[in-house]
Amino acid sequence: MTAFTALLARDMRIAIRVGGGALMGALFFLIVVTMMPFAVGPDLNLLARIGPAILWLGALLASLLALDRLFATDHEDGSLDLLMMGRMPLELAIAGKGLAHWLTTGLPLVVISPVLGLMLNVELKALGAVALTLAAGTPALTFIGLIGAALSVALRRGGLLLAVLVLPLTIPVLIFGVAAANAAILGGAAFGPPFTILCALSLASLVIGPFAAAAALRFGLE
Amino acid sequence: MQLSAENLTCERGGRTVFSGLSFTVAGGEALTITGRNGAGKSSLLRMLAGLVRVADGRLVLSGGEAEATIAEQAHYLGHQDALKSSLSVRENLAFWTAYLGGAAEAVPAALEAVGLAPLASLPAAYLSAGQRRRLSIARLVAVRRPIWLLDEPTSALDVQSQDRLAGLMQTHLAGGGIIVAATHGPIGLAAPRELRLGQ
């Protein structure tokens, strides 16, 4: 087993064991989306119109939920020191941790989004499109979040700081995610352009996130 | 193989912890670092492990792998055990073995060497402080790296485990390895050289 797959397997295993945060994001997502019709009323047309925005906001908040502990737990138990002493570049190790986090937190959001879409009166044929936008966009949320997680690693109440740091950076993802989802549901605008930009944001954050997070960790642990 | 430090200076939080520190350790030798609390013993070990920036001076390893940094050829046993409570004893060690570049076959033997083989399937959450310490020592046995950086390695260990650790250290030295250990007392090595900080 290579160092990368070992780290990936270990982080996923910790996430799905007792005390891990694997399904917390999905449950939070479920609750946020369930409460929304109670807040805005049972007007089906209104729900259908704001449905994609609700799904995307819910996914955004849910994907940040467990992120603040990503490096903090490794920092507290000394694992981070050893992760830095491996033969694998720290950037790659961070990418592995980010991937494990997305597989256990982001992917469940994508999988349950069609069910939640039904609750918001999203048309059947558009459910797949919304899930597709989430699948393309949630990696960006995780990998942008890595930067905030690395910056807030040594702080005790890092969770709040993480949200303050990361949420503004995710605005482009939100804009193009909702635009693509709306195009799929309401028609009128083309689905392709916003979706391609969403994919581009994800790919760019896959590259920038680990490098920025590694720089932040190295600087912060001095 | 020889690890040498020339005029090392360490700064933490704007304060100079030590400066002008020079020493040399050759393969097969052990160096113990002693000194009062706050003299910079742990900082020196973390500096050797590449976890603290070298403010001034330099560290040179001759006779090691040319391509790898000192940190990549060293084991660091710090105050924390780097164990995950929800993983079993075996899973914890197997992860670090794979991550640090060792072979999976070395895991059972390493658990045997620290006397944890009967507890291999137990989640690490149920281990005592001494057992956690032994599990992190098993990492040093499972993956071969020539330099051992040990920060008070005998803390929390009972007499039998201290003897076992001394045996492992002697084997490591006999194989040409280097040990740099921060300690307040004897760690069971015959004639280690001593570096006294804070004088």
Tell me: the pLDDT tens digits for A83-140?
A: 888 888 899 999 999 999 999 988 999 999 888 888 888 888 788 888 899 999 999 9
pTM (2 d.p.): 0.89
Please say if the pLDDT value at position A204 is more than 90. yes
User: Do B93 and B135 form a contact (C-beta atoms < 8 A)?
Assistant: yes
d(CA A22, CA A15) in angstroms, rounded, equals: 5
The pairing of beta strand B56-62 with beta strand B2-12: antiparallel
Please say if the pLDDT value at position A199 is more than 90. yes
Which of A2, A7, A82, A88 has the most B C-beta neighbours within 10 Å, making it the best mutation to test the interface with B? A82
Q: Which residue has the higher pLDDT, B132 or B67?
A: B132
In this complex, the residue of A10, A18, A78 whose CB is nearest that of residue B80 is: A78
What are the chain B neighbours of A77 within 8 Å (beta carbons)?
A: 80-84
The DSSP bridge partners found for residue B63 are none
Mean pLDDT, rounded, for B99-122: 87
CB pairs under 8 A between A and B: 80
pLDDT in tens, B58-79: 888 888 777 888 888 889 998 8
Percent of chain A scored above 70 by pLDDT? 95
End-to-end CA distance of chain B, in Å? 29
d(CA A79, CA A84) in angstroms, rounded, equals: 9
In this complex, the residue of A1, A81, A221 whose CB is nearest that of residue B98 is: A1
Residue B117 burial (CB count, 10 A) = 15
What are the chain B neighbours of A76 within 8 Å (beta carbons)?
A: 80
pLDDT at residue B116, as a whole number:
85
Please say if the pLDDT value at position A158 is more than 70. no
d(CA A81, CA B18) in angstroms, rounded, equals: 22
B2-196: CATH topology is Rossmann fold (3.40.50)
Q: Side-chain half-sphere of A158: how many Cα atoms within 13 Å? A: 24
Q: Which residue has the higher pLDDT, A189 or B115?
A: B115
Q: In Å, how far is B106's CA from the nearest CA of chain A?
A: 13
Of A128, A11, A107, A9, whose CA–CA distance to A62 is shortest?
A107
Q: In Å, how far is A148's CA from the nearest CA of chain B?
A: 21
What are the chain B neighbours of A221 within 8 Å (beta carbons)?
A: 51
